[in-house]
């Protein structure tokens, strides 16, 4: 565990430095405070002993006491009897085996657990005031020196803690953040391989594994992209090859429907015609969808006449709608309506919308297609029917891939919503707006609006 060993050593060294520095500063500050307090008390006792203090004590030794700073209180003792005449005085402060104290000497003594520190001064050779002892009250570990020591310790430890953060945590944090960014971008072009690594620890090993995984992901993506491209090309080729036989089959079925047949045969042929139209539209949609998924933009094409495309689509589907008992009508302006869109994509978009209306209408249904100029150089194409329509909740979802209403699935289980999804995609890439709403007759109304291109040419033939 190279990384953790290095971090452990750094953290241990930093902690030891912080503790050593803090304890040294705290001990020094406490020692200074204690020495200062003892020195002040000793000086106060000396000043008192060299002036009129002994005389005051000798006048009334049984009641004499003297208060000093820091809560200390001094009492007078008789060296000969080792006692004090003041009943409030502490016991004799000197130990039984202590060396003799001469006049003018000052001693700093430790006491038992009942009292604090003691300073003793020999003021006279003998008498009731021959020894003056100042006793400090017992201090807890949270006394003033201890509190000051703790504060100094904390202040001294702060730079060490900051040093530890800068030396240990910040480098580790930067490396972990770089690792996180690489993990989030793995498999994309934003992934940045790690630079040359000299430490060789666990994080570098993880980053190296991510580099290898990223390379494998790119290889898999390239291989899958090639397979998908091959599959789409194969699908396009199959759809293209099916166009001719499906058109021929549909023509033969329609020709057979024009003959005199029994009702059973007529119903069968009508079902076969619906299947031909469905399979033909499906193959064309699969071909167009494969092109759209490859990023093909239908707007990269010369301008075409939308009015001619509407007429051609309506005439092609009018005969099929009539065989189902549905009336399909269209109206376009006399002037050319130029739009920028690929002809195949544009016609397939219109076919999908109209065939969707035909598939969901019953006999005697009405479908209207109206193309007109709108304001500000735009066109408006409306396709409306008088069917049952769809609910408000489903309107916003029309055009989603694989979405069909429950009513549509009940009428015809075939289909996956691909046609309207392709129509929405083509409109978006051509800069058109596709909207679904309710028609005045109660059915579904589809509106397509977009800009008109000015190419100055005459209307092309719809045939």
How far is Cα 248 from Cα 245, in angstroms, rounded to an integer?
Answer: 5
Residue 43: the pLDDT is: 67
* pLDDT one digit per residue (tens) for the chain, 463 residues: 465 556 656 666 776 676 666 666 666 665 555 555 555 666 666 666 666 566 778 788 888 887 776 667 888 888 888 888 888 888 887 776 666 677 666 666 655 445 567 778 787 788 888 888 887 766 544 455 556 666 766 676 667 666 766 676 677 777 777 888 888 888 887 887 765 555 667 778 888 888 888 888 888 888 888 887 777 777 777 766 776 787 777 777 777 777 767 777 877 877 787 777 778 777 888 888 888 888 889 998 899 999 999 999 999 888 888 888 899 999 999 888 999 999 999 999 999 999 888 888 888 889 999 999 887 889 999 999 988 878 777 777 887 876 766 666 656 666 667 888 999 999 999 999 999 988 887 889 999 999 998 764 544 444 4
Residue 461: the pLDDT is: 47
How far is Cα 108 from Cα 40, in angstroms, rounded to an integer?
Answer: 12
How far is Cα 164 from Cα 14, in angstroms, rounded to an integer?
Answer: 6
Residue 138: the pLDDT is: 63
Residue 372: the pLDDT is: 93
- For 199, the token pair is 């430490």
Alpha-helical segments (H) within 112-201: 144-164, 170-184
CATH class for the region spanning 297-463: alpha beta
Residue 161: the pLDDT is: 65
| Residues whose CB is less than 8 angstroms from the CB of residue 363 and which lie 6 or more positions away in sequence, other chains included | 324, 325, 326
Residue recorded with tokens 């209207």: 368
Residue 459: the pLDDT is: 46
Residue 373 main-chain phi, psi, to 5 deg: -80, 140
Residue 308: the pLDDT is: 94
Residue 279: the pLDDT is: 80
Going by their DSSP bridges, the two strands 73-77 and 433-438 should be labelled as unpaired
Residue recorded with tokens 């580099």: 211
Q: 264-278 burial by CB neighbour count: b if 16+ within 10 A, else e? A: eeeeebeebbbebbe
Going by their DSSP bridges, the two strands 378-385 and 444-451 should be labelled as antiparallel
């Amino acid at each position: 565990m190279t990384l953790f060993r290095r971090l452990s050593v750094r953290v241990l060294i930093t902690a030891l430095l912080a503790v050593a520095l803090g304890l040294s500063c705290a001990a020094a500050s406490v020692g200074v405070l204690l020495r200062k307090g003892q020195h002040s008390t000793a000086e106060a006792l000396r000043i008192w002993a060299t002036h009129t203090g002994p005389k005051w004590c000798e006048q009334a030794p049984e009641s004499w006491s003297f208060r000093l700073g820091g809560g200390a209180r001094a009492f007078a003792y008789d060296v000969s009897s080792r006692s004090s005449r003041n009943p409030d005085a502490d016991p004799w402060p000197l130990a039984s085996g202590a060396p003799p104290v001469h006049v003018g000497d000052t001693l700093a003594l430790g006491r038992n657990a009942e009292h604090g520190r003691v300073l003793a001064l020999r003021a006279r050779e003998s008498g009731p005031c021959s020894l003056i002892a100042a006793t400090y009250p017992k201090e807890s570990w949270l006394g003033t020196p201890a509190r000051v020591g703790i504060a100094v310790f904390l202040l001294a430890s702060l730079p060490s803690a900051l040093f530890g953060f800068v030396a240990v945590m910040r480098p580790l944090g930067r490396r972990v953040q770089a690792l996180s960014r690489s993990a989030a971008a793995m498999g994309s072009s934003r992934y940045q391989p790690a630079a040359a690594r000299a430490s060789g620890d666990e994080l570098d090993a993880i980053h190296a594994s991510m580099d290898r995984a990223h390379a494998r992901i790119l290889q898999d993506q390239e291989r899958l992209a090639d397979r998908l491209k091959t599959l789409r090309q194969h699908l396009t080729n199959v759809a293209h090859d099916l166009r001719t036989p499906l058109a021929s089959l549909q023509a033969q079925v329609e020709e057979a429907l024009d003959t005199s047949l029994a009702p059973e045969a007529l119903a069968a042929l009508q079902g076969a015609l619906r299947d031909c139209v469905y399979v033909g539209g499906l193959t064309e949609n699969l071909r167009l969808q494969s092109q759209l998924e490859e990023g093909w933009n239908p707007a990269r094409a010369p301008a075409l006449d939308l009015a001619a495309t509407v007429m051609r689509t309506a005439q092609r589907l009018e005969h099929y709608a009539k065989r189902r008992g549905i009336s399909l009508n269209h109206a376009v302006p006399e002037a050319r309506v130029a739009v920028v869109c690929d002809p195949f994509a544009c016609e397939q978009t219109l076919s999908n919308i109209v065939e969707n209306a035909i598939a969901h209408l019953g006999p005697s249904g009405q479908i209207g297609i109206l193309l007109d100029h709108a304001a500000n150089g735009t066109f408006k194409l409306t396709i409306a029917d008088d069917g049952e329509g769809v609910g408000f909740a489903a309107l916003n979802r029309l055009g989603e891939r694989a979405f069909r209403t429950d009513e549509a699935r009940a009428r015809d289980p075939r289909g996956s919503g691909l046609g309207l999804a392709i129509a929405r995609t083509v409109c978006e890439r051509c800069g058109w707006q596709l909207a679904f709403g309710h028609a005045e007759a109660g059915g579904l109304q589809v509106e397509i609006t977009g800009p008109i291109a000015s190419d100055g040419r005459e209307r092309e033939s719809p045939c």
